[in-house]
Amino acid sequence: MANTETIYVLNGPNLNLLGTREPETYGRATLADVEKLCADTAARYGWKADCRQSNREGELIDFIHEAHASKAAGIVINPGGYSHTSIALHDALLGVRVPAVEVHVSNIHARESFRHHSFTAKAAFATLAGFGADGYRLAIIGLAARLGVKAKT
């Protein structure tokens, strides 16, 4: 049975630079802003958002494994550049069988061609791209809908 109290929100490399890194592409919202948005949105569904960021692929894999071990309700993940390179993250997401939504702040399909392919998207039940920080809110709403969890407020 899933831990209906927790979802993991995982952010990959360089997302600690949100708000200052290429604001014309990634916007002005900081990682702290994103984490607050996730916590507030998750709370609407009776969830706690366990938000984590790492620039290291192996640590992100450990977080995914931990989500499974703790019986988290789901995962919202922005793998950053690892989306396009990491078969290991893909395999971890498939291996744990925790429902996952992939989020990208920018529209990866309107950018360089190397960004058009995502290994991790193939292990998620949905992908959102191009909504800016609001994509995280939409991902949590979509996760709740997929799990049949209704908003409490």
Catalytic residues: 26, 104
Within a 10 A sphere around the Cβ of 39, how many other Cβ atoms?
16
Give the integer Cα–Cα distance in Å for 141 and 153: 13
SS3 per-residue string spanning 122-146 = HHCCEEEECCCCHHHHHHHHHHHHH
Which tokens in the block code for residue 57? 């692929």
For 79, the enclosing helix (H) or strand (E) is none
3-state secondary structure of 51: strand
Which tokens in the block code for residue 140? 């949590």
